[in-house]
Chain A
């Protein structure tokens, strides 16, 4: 699969119409959303906290890029989830609700504030994982129905 991916990527680049001095210019970068944050059962008026170290319920993004390269991580976090007839379910994120792991192990994270940019170095094999938790804050009279939200991770290659 990995070989296939490289072949698919590499073939057109080799034939690209760039001038001789500017050929295939860099390695691929892949950012993958692996697992969303799962809050499980909640109760009206009772906050539900998911830790970034929760192996089953925390969110996870995997990054694969050039070995040892630096990337800037930043989140766009929803303040609420939108439900039936526009009903809102509040969300909050603490100052250590995100974590980064070079080894991609959930148990060896460096915590960071998901509301602030964080510079991460990919591992010697070009990999890294980002984990995120958060808190759902249903109100006492939270309306029943389906609620949705989007969480966005931006990975900026430096430079």
Chain B
């Protein structure tokens, strides 16, 4: 009975009655010390349905494209020139089901190669969470179209393995800035120093000709090699005049334990802004 009966079918990715689904992942960044060679990630299911979780790993690091947008560059088979821990950090278990309001621990076990040089090595943990099949609703006519959807969310967090002395820093250059309406857009070149990723924050302060602060912004940032990030911040409409943007990159992060944030000298620069 291929006729218009099915036209009234409920066609959709999911029923509107779909319960929220996902898992809480903690922490959002893992640091493993060579002396311990293990770490853990906690998964918690705040929902009302069991969630199937699959754990995998990949190698990748943030960088920027030609427009300054941040992207994750992944490398399927990283060679020895890259500080990859992909081959020797494993997660257990790789498949698990987290019951509603329950938690489970994923263990990370490192088996670094003998003679591993001092430094920081990276891998990323992919936590894929899928709830059960969404019930198809609204259509009982077998000639109609019935549609259901399985939603999946993947959370990718960074894992850093540190062996021996690790240092970092950043060199700031090519700072540019432009006011576009109420938005301040900045571009800069950031080149990492040392043998570990620079994890910190970009801070900007707009001051007027009297030295008074007119706007501020802050943006967390990680520099793994070299990047040229474009950072846009809403600073409000500034009156006509000349301003200075004071721009600094500091090794501070409010979302991470200070113990895992490597110290580094502050990188500073400034650039003039004109509102015609």
Supposing A32-B153, A117-B71 touch, asked if A157 and B21 sit within 8 A by C-beta, the answer is no
Kindly provide the distance from the CB of B195 to the nearest chain A CB, expressed in whole angstroms. Answer: 16
Which residue of B has the minimal Cβ distance to A150? B150
B11 & A42 in contact (Cβ 8 Å cutoff): yes
Interface of B is mostly: strand
Interface residues of A in 66-125 (CB under 8 A from B): 66-70, 72, 76, 81, 83, 89, 117, 119, 121
Interface residues of A in 31-90 (CB under 8 A from B): 31-44, 48, 56-57, 59, 61-62, 65-70, 72, 76, 81, 83, 89
Interface residues of A in 121-147 (CB under 8 A from B): 121, 134, 136, 138, 141-147
A26 & B27 in contact (Cβ 8 Å cutoff): yes
Task: Give the docked Cα–Cα distance between A56 and B150 (Å).
Answer: 18
A30 & B149 in contact (Cβ 8 Å cutoff): no
Contacts of B222 in A (CB 8 A): 158-159
A29 & B157 in contact (Cβ 8 Å cutoff): yes
Question: Which of B10, B24, B27 is within 8 Å of A24, CB to CB?
Answer: B27
Q: How large is the interface on B (under 10, 10 to 19, 20 to 34, 35 or more residues)?
A: 35 or more
Contacts of A16 in B (CB 8 A): 40
B197 & A12 in contact (Cβ 8 Å cutoff): no
* B145 in contact (CB, < 8 A): yes
B256 & A36 in contact (Cβ 8 Å cutoff): no
A27 & B136 in contact (Cβ 8 Å cutoff): no
* B16 in contact (CB, < 8 A): yes
Supposing A157-B28, A158-B222 touch, asked if A148 and B149 sit within 8 A by C-beta, the answer is yes
Task: Give the docked Cα–Cα distance between A131 and B101 (Å).
Answer: 26
B10 & A41 in contact (Cβ 8 Å cutoff): yes
Q: How many A residues, CB 8 Å from partner?
A: 76
B148 & A155 in contact (Cβ 8 Å cutoff): no
A157 & B155 in contact (Cβ 8 Å cutoff): yes
A150 & B151 in contact (Cβ 8 Å cutoff): yes
Supposing A18-B36, A36-B18 touch, asked if A28 and B27 sit within 8 A by C-beta, the answer is yes
A144 & B145 in contact (Cβ 8 Å cutoff): yes
B20 & A38 in contact (Cβ 8 Å cutoff): no
Q: Which of B6, B61, B199 has the most CB of A within 10 A?
A: B6
A23 & B16 in contact (Cβ 8 Å cutoff): no
B146 & A67 in contact (Cβ 8 Å cutoff): no
User: Contacts A33-B131, A42-B145 given; 15 further ones with Cβ under 8 A?
Assistant: A12-B40, A19-B35, A22-B32, A25-B31, A28-B25, A28-B26, A33-B152, A38-B13, A41-B10, A66-B255, A70-B70, A72-B70, A89-B145, A146-B148, A157-B158
